[in-house]
């Protein structure tokens, strides 16, 4: 595979990132997302997981399917009609038992956001309590659900996706690779990486995110390993990467 710039593929092997295996895969392009996500997740099975799921943006909003156990449980999900972005996930539970509700994607209260996450949100309890006081009802036991609910809370205030993601990131602490889709922005997905592996894959008229290049080998060998603190806006036409200070990288 090819690398853009001078980033080292070995970054993925370094330090604390090893402890967050499981997996993330995301797709934006002209093909149906769901089969590509399933294929990518199958290629990440070796990393271990206890449950799996995916979210696909469709004409009727975000369609989420998730389940405890093997990927085969997900295999029947396909998306009719025009292809839309999607994110898939294999979970290795840290907060809340492996079950259908705790499997990712975690979805915000009105279904505006779907989030997949590898890692741990250390301060989730405080954030959850704060949101509950504002009337948010949590469905799962995961730390990840606070990310989805926070995104909705900030987005409803600003109506700006980029700003809402940055607002959310300014309050969460911990380690995370995140794949985010928003019902209001069905042409894109957002990728964020801090102390957990995540890479971007470049195709022709389609682009990808993944925990590991293995997930993308059938589709592209042209990848960028995200640096810590980076955020990427992924559309079918291109990928914009922002550094920790949110300047174009």
In whole angstroms, the minimum distance from the beta carbon of 157 to ligand GLU comes to 26
Find the shortest distance in angstroms from Cβ 190 to ligand GLU. Answer: 17
Q: Which of 7, 45, 61, 95 binds ligand GLU (CB under 6 A)?
A: 95
Nearer residue to ligand GLU within complex by CB, 92 or 242: 92
Q: Is 17 in the site for ligand GLU (CB under 6 A)?
A: no
Determine which residue in the list 67, 73, 93, 217 makes contact with ligand GLU, applying CB under 6 A. 93
Interaction of residue 176 with ligand GLU, rule CB under 6 A:
no
Task: Tell the burial category of 134 from Cβ atoms under 10 Å away from its Cβ (0-12, 13-18, 19+).
Answer: exposed
Q: Which listed residue (12, 17, 20, 234) binds ligand GLU by CB under 6 A? A: 20
Residue 144 interacts with ligand GLU (CB under 6 A): yes or no: yes
Closest distance to ligand GLU from the beta carbon of 120 (Å): 5
Q: Which pair of structure tokens corresponds to residue 67? A: 């389940």
Closest CA to 82 of 120, 28, 129: 28
Q: Output b/e per residue, 159-179; b: 16+ Cβ within 10 A.
A: eebeebbbbbbeebeebbbbb
Residue in 243, 158, 236, 155 with CA at minimum distance from that of residue 202: 236
Number of residues that bind ligand GLU (CB under 6 A): 16
Of the pair 107, 239, the CB lying nearest ligand GLU is at 107
Does residue number 235 form part of the binding site for ligand GLU (CB under 6 A)? Answer: no
If one asks whether residue 143 binds ligand GLU (CB under 6 A), the answer comes out as yes
Contact at 8 Å (CB) between 31 and 15? no
22 binding ligand GLU? (CB under 6 A): yes
**212: which 2 tokens?**
């590991």
Is 92 near ligand GLU (CB under 6 A)?
yes
Closest distance to ligand GLU from the beta carbon of 4 (Å): 26
- What count of residues does the chain have? 249
> How many C-beta neighbours within 10 Å does residue 6 have?
5
DSSP 13: G
With CB under 6 A as the contact rule, the residue among 58, 86, 88, 119 that binds ligand GLU is 119
- How far is residue 77's CA from residue 141's CA, in Å, rounded to a whole number? 25
Distance CA(221)–CA(244), nearest Å, equals: 26
Contact between 69 and ligand GLU per CB under 6 A: no
Q: Which residues contact 190 (CB under 8 A, 6 or more apart)?
A: 161, 165, 178, 179, 180, 181, 182, 231, 232, 233, 234
Contact flag: residue 120 with ligand GLU (CB under 6 A): yes
Cα 137 from chain centroid? 22
Nearer to ligand GLU, 74 or 236 (CB): 74
- Please report, as ranges, the residues that interact with ligand GLU according to CB under 6 A: 20, 22, 91-96, 102, 117-120, 142-144
């Amino acid at each position: 595979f090819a690398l853009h710039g001078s980033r080292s593929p070995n970054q993925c092997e370094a330090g604390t990132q090893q402890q967050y295996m499981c997996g993330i895969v995301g797709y934006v392009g002209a093909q149906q997302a769901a089969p590509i996500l399933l294929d990518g997740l199958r290629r990440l099975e070796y990393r271990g997981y206890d449950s799996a799921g995916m979210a696909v943006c469709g004409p009727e909003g975000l369609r989420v399917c998730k389940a405890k156990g093997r990927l085969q449980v997900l295999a029947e999900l396909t998306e009719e009609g025009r292809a839309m972005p999607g994110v898939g996930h294999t979970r290795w539970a840290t907060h809340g038992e492996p079950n259908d509700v705790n499997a990712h994607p975690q979805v915000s209260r009105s279904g505006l956001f779907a989030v997949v996450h590898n890692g741990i949100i250390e301060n989730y309890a405080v954030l959850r309590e704060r949101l509950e006081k504002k009337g948010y009802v949590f469905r799962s036991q995961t730390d990840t659900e606070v990310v989805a609910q926070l995104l909705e809370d900030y987005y409803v205030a600003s109506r700006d996706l980029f700003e809402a993601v940055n607002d959310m990131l300014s309050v969460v602490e911990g380690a995370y690779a995140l794949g985010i889709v928003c019902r209001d922005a069905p042409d894109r997905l957002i990728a964020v990486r801090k102390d957990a592996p995540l890479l971007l894959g470049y195709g022709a008229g389609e682009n990808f995110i993944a925990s590991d290049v293995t997930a993308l080998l059938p589709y592209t060998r042209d990848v960028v390993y995200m640096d810590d603190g980076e955020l990427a806006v992924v559309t079918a036409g291109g990928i914009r990467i922002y550094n920790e200070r949110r300047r174009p990288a």
